[in-house]
Structure 1
Amino acid sequence: MIIIGEKINGAIPSIKQAIEDHNEELIRERVAAQAAAGADYIDCAPSTAPEIEYDTMVWLIDLIQDVTDLPISIDSPNPLLLKRIIEEGRLKRPGMVNSVNAGCMTVAVEAGLDSAIMDPCSSFMMGTLYAAEALSQRDKGGRKYNRAFRKGIFK
């Protein structure tokens, strides 16, 4: 079982306040507690206004990496922000992208995504995944795409 600690999330009122106040101590405490409790990854979800989300995510990533060597799951509905974080090498260790957005997944596949937290029963999401892998040439000749289409995994 892979455990992703989800407590560094701006949707949680105390974390939202800590983000607004730049309360490093609270963020560090929550990261340390999750690491000590056995998390395999630490989720980083600023859940802020779009105009400050990048700076907030970078700040949180730096704090998380100061506390633990666990990989980070970066979480945002903005695929370009996630791609930028990955391309800039902000993560010390390979982590994961946590988003349910098809556009995000497409950009993440291009950036090297090799696993996804998604609904495999969604023909739209599965079709998007197969198409992204084919277009990014990770599916040589589109064989997996064609096979999945013929099986009716997506339409």
Structure 2
Amino acid sequence: MKLIGENLNIMSKKYGKALKERDAKTLQELAVIEAEAGMDYIDLNIGPAGKTGEEMMSWLVPVIHEVVDLPLALDTSNVKAIEAGLKAHKKGRAMINSIMVRQERMDALLPLAKEYDAEFIGLLWGPEGMPRDENERGALCAELLFRASDLGIVPERIYIDPIQTPVNVQQIQIMSALAFMDMFADMAPGCRSTIGLSNVSNGAPEHLRPILNQVMLILWKRRGMTSAIVDTFDKKLHQIAKGKRPELEALVAKVEDGEEIDMASLSKEEQDFVKTAKVILGHTLYSDSWLEV
């Protein structure tokens, strides 16, 4: 599973400040940490950056590539900033994060993906916003793939994102996104997939965010998810992504399949994974104290 490091983000107190102040050293230190942690891409999230985006991305891409050779995901709603980043990107194949299934976004960004031979994340967010279920996700996916094919963009350049929602408010949406992935391989042959993983734990207490992210990753992996946008600093998450915790993956699969589990025979870590899987899958209601029950 490929990993896209999420931490170089304008919303981060430390790295957002470094972006605004053009503090190259702090951002380069993070880039090296991301590379050493095994990230396959580094996401450059500069936010909307309406007035400064073009200049910021033109500066940022070479700054990061001074210290690492990883391809970069250009993450902004500013189309001119995306194009500036594509022009500046010289190491590997750039990624556009992301292209929504909206006419104006596809018209603006799909031609850039074609011109610069970039990969892109196709975010299944349509003209009416969040799709209601897996069938609407399928319709949006089909529309995006048709438009990309029309421009001669090969499926291997496309990563479809079915949208991760927070578990504490939208458990039903999580299940419909998982159901979409069950039909993804047949619907989009040759395409890849990705997910903004940390969204599942948005709004949860900070100490509970890692285990929510880790269990959610196992559920996505089980459905063939090929990449994820993740926290660079979560080492256990990286182990799961690389298949180094098969016992935890097997436990979560048993929960999903409704198998009997002898909780008394499990370690505290294993018990926590079982409890968290039940919360994400809607077997139990979300509360901030689910691990204490």
Superposed pair shares fold, TM > 0.5: yes
Distance verdict in 2 for CA 1:27–1:96, change over 3 Å: same
Partner of 2:49: 49
**Shift, 1:126, TM fit:** 3.6
Q: What is the TM-score with the length of structure 2 in the denominator?
A: 0.42
Q: Secondary structure at the match of 1:63?
A: helix
Amino acid in structure 2 at the alignment position of 1:39: M
Q: Is 1:58 matched with 2:58?
A: yes
Partner of 1:22: 22
Q: What is the TM-score with the length of structure 1 in the denominator?
A: 0.74
Partner of 2:235: none
**Higher-Rg member (1/2):** 2
Q: Secondary structure at the match of 1:7?
A: coil
Q: Distance in 2 between matches of 1:138 and 1:33?
A: 33
2:71·2:94 contact (CA, 8 Å) conserved in 1?
yes
Partner of 1:12: 12
1:15·1:27 contact (CA, 8 Å) conserved in 2?
yes
2:45·2:75 contact (CA, 8 Å) conserved in 1?
yes
Show CA shifts across 1:46-83 (max 9, x none): 12531101111122111110010011111111234323
1:77·1:100 contact (CA, 8 Å) conserved in 2?
no
1:5·1:42 contact (CA, 8 Å) conserved in 2?
yes
Distance verdict in 2 for CA 1:125–1:16, change over 3 Å: same
Q: Distance in 1 between matches of 2:61 and 2:153?
A: 29
Q: Secondary structure at the match of 1:67?
A: coil
Q: How many residues in Structure 1 have an aligned counterpart in Structure 2? A: 138
Partner of 1:123: 139
Amino acid in structure 2 at the alignment position of 1:77: S
Q: Once the two structures are aligned, what percentage of the paired residues are identical?
A: 24
Q: Which structure 1 segments of 5+ residues have no match? A: 140-155
Partner of 1:145: none
Show CA shifts across 1:129-150 (max 9, x none): 413432x3559xxxxxxxxxxx
1:77·1:101 contact (CA, 8 Å) conserved in 2?
no
Distance verdict in 2 for CA 1:137–1:96, change over 3 Å: closer
Q: Distance in 1 between matches of 2:16 and 2:120?
A: 28
Partner of 2:39: 39
Amino acid in structure 2 at the alignment position of 1:91: H
Name segments (4+ residues, structure 1) moved above 6 Å.
Answer: none
Show CA shifts across 1:62-113 (max 9, x none): 1110010011111111234323432x3x111212111253343443322225
Amino acid in structure 2 at the alignment position of 1:4: I
Partner of 2:70: 70
2:94·2:119 contact (CA, 8 Å) conserved in 1?
no
Most deviating of 109-118 and 41-50: 109-118
Q: Distance in 1 between matches of 2:3 and 2:111?
A: 26
Distance verdict in 2 for CA 1:117–1:128, change over 3 Å: closer
Q: Secondary structure at the match of 1:69?
A: coil
Partner of 1:95: 94
1:24·1:63 contact (CA, 8 Å) conserved in 2?
yes
Q: Distance in 2 between matches of 1:33 and 1:39?
A: 9
1:106·1:132 contact (CA, 8 Å) conserved in 2?
no
Q: Secondary structure at the match of 1:43?
A: strand
